[in-house]
Amino acid sequence: MTAVPFAFRPGYGWVMAGVTFTLTALSFGILGSAGIFLKPLAADFGWSRGALSLGYTAMTVATAFSAVFWGTLADRYGTRWIALFGACFMGISLFLLSQMNSMWEFYLYYLMFGALGQGALSGPLFANVGLWFSKNVGLAIGVAISGGAVGQGVVPMAARLLISNYDWQTAYLVLGVCYLAIGIPIALLVRNAPRPKGSDGSERPLMRDGKPFPLSPAMVVAWMASAVLFCCITMSVAIVHIVPLISDRGVAPEKAASFLLVLMVAGAFGRILGGKLADKIGPLQSYLTMSVAQTATVVFFPFVFNLPLMYALAIAFGLFYSGVMASFVIVPRFTIPPKYLARSMAMVSMFGWFGMGIGGWQGGLMYDLTGNYIFSFANAGIAGAINVTILLFFLAFIRRRSAALLQPA
C-alpha cells in the first residue's frame, strides 16, 4: 500500500488550527503587552505616552507592509519555512529589546518584531488554515485566531509579573527565551494545505446559492481594507490603553493588567463565536453584527469607574471585538480564489494593522493633549461608525452586482 503523504492526512487541518493558535498567541501577546511596558519605560527613560504609543504603531505598520510580501511568498511557495523564520525573529527581537538604551532602538526592535516576526505569521497561517477545510471553515479559523486573544491576555499578565518582581529588561529577556523555546518546535509542524485535483486555485468561491461570488479579488480587497482600517482603529484604543486608563485611577498595576486578561479571555471565546456565526449567517453579516456591538461598547470605557462594571464592560468588548476579528479574517476565504488568498488576506490585514497603529497612537496622543482618555475613546467610536457604514454599502453593492449578473444580456 502506498503511504499517504504527511501533509495530505485527513484531520491534519485541526492540527494546523492548533499550531496557528499557538503561534498567533505568541505574536499577538507582544502586541497586547505594549500597554504593560508603557509606564515602566516612561518612568525609566522619561519618554511620553504618545512617544511610547508610537512604538506600538511602528510594530503594527511594519507588520502591515511586510504581510503583503509574506503573503505573496506563501501563495507561491507555502507557509512552512515562513512560519519558522517568523518564530525565530520574534524571540530575537525581544532579546534585543531587553538590551536597548535609546528610543531609536525601541522603535527599531518593534519594527523588527512586526516585519520579520508577526508579519510572517499572521496572514499566511490564517489563509493556510482556511484552505484545509471545506466544512466548518469559520469555526476552524475562529479557533486558530482565538490564540491571539489568549496571547494578548496571558503574555501581558506574565510581563506585568516579571516587571513587578524584576524589571522591564528581565521581562523582555525571559519572554524572548520562552518564545524561541516554544515557537520553533511548533513552527516545524506547519504543513501546506492540499489543493483539489485538477484545480489551479483560480476558481471563484461559490456563494450559498451555488453561484460564483460576483466581485473580483481586487474589488473585495478594496472594500474590506477600507472597512477594516476603521474597525481596527476602534479596537486598538481599548487594547493598548485599558491598563493605563485603570491604573491612572489608583488601581495597582497587577490588578489593572487583570482587566486586559479578562478582556482577552472573553476574546478567545468571541473569536470562536464569530467564526461559528460566520458559518451560520455568512462572514460579512457576522462582521457587521459584531462591528455594531463593538462600536456601541467602546465609548463607555472612560465613564465606568465601578470595578465590577468595568470587568463586565471588558468582557463584553472582548467578545465583540474578537468576533469582528474572526469575521473579517474569514471573509476573504469565501470571496477570493485560493490562488490569491494569502496575499489578499495580507492586503486586508495591512490596512487592519494601519488602523491598529493609528488607534493606539492617537489614544496616547489625545491623552497627552487633554490629560484624560475621553477623546481617545470618542475617536474610537467615530471610527467604528465609519466601519459599519462601509460594511452596509458593501453588502448593498454585492446584492446589486449579483442581481445584475442575473439580468439577461
Rg (CA), the chain: 21
- DSSP label at residue 6: G
Which of 306, 317, 275, 266 lies closest to 153, judged by CA? 266
Three-class SS of residue 206?
Answer: strand
Give DSSP secondary structure letters for 311-367. HHHHHHHHHHHHHHHHHHHHHHHHHS-GGGHHHHHHHHHHHHHHHHHHHHHHHHHHH
Torsion of CA 151, 241, 31, 291, to 10 degrees: 80
pLDDT tens for each residue of 304-326: 898 999 999 999 999 999 899 88
Cβ density class 191-200: b for 16+ within 10 Å, e for less: bbbeeeeeee
Are the beta carbons of 37 and 9 closer than 8 angstroms?
A: no
269-297 average pLDDT score: 91
Q: What are the grid coordinates assigned to 83, written together?
A: 512560519
pLDDT digits (tens, 9 = 90+) for 320-348: 998 998 888 888 888 888 778 888 888 88
163 confidence band (pLDDT: 50, 70, 90): very high
Alpha-carbon distance of 212 to 198, in angstroms, equals: 18
Residue 205 pLDDT:
66
| HEC per residue, 20-72 | HHHHHHHHHHHHHCHHHHHHHHHHHHCCCHHHHHHHHHHHHHHHHHHHHHHHH
The C-alpha atoms of residue 341 and residue 335 are separated, in whole angstroms, by 9
The pLDDT of 104-119, averaged and rounded, is 92
**Secondary structure string (H, E, C) spanning 126-147:** HHHHHHCCCCCHHHHHHHHHHH
Show the domains of the chain with their CATH numbers: 9-194+206-406 (1.20.1250.20)
C-alpha cell at 159: 510581563
Alpha carbons within 13 angstroms on the beta-carbon side of residue 341 total 31
Question: What are the residues facing 212 on neighbouring strands?
Answer: 206
For residue 136, what are the contacts with CB-CB under 8 A and spacing of at least 6?
Answer: 279
pLDDT tens, residue by residue, 69-86: 898 888 888 888 999 999
Residue 139: per-residue pLDDT: 86
353, 59 Cβ separation under 8 angstroms:
no
Angle between helices 137-165 and 168-187 (to 10 degrees): 150
Beta carbons of 177 and 363 less than 8 angstroms apart: no
Contact (Cβ atoms closer than 8 angstroms) between residue 79 and residue 128: yes
* Residues comprising the chain, all counted: 409
Q: Give the model confidence (pLDDT) of 387-399 as tens digits.
A: 999 999 999 999 8
Please say whether the beta carbons of 274 and 290 come within 8 A.
yes
In whole angstroms, what is the distance from residue 284 CA to residue 290 CA? 10
The predicted-structure confidence for 133-159, as pLDDT tens digits, reads as follows 878 888 888 888 888 878 877 898 899
Q: What is the pLDDT of residue 1?
A: 30
Full-model pTM = 0.76
Q: Above 80 in pLDDT, residue 209?
A: no
Written as one string, the DSSP assignment of 367-404 is HHHHSSSHHHHHHHHHHHHHHHHHHHHHHHHHHHHHHH
pLDDT at 7: 44
pLDDT at 3: 36
Phi, psi of 212 (to 5 degrees): -65, 145
pLDDT in tens, 184-201: 999 999 988 776 555 555
Question: Over the chain, what is the mean pLDDT?
Answer: 86
- Judged by DSSP in three states, 7 sits in helix
Cβ-Cβ contacts under 8 Å for 361 (sequence gap 6 or more): 50, 53, 54, 56, 57
Q: What does the alpha-carbon distance between residue 397 and residue 377 come to, in Å, rounded to a whole number?
A: 31
Nearest to 235 by CA among 331, 150, 366, 359: 359
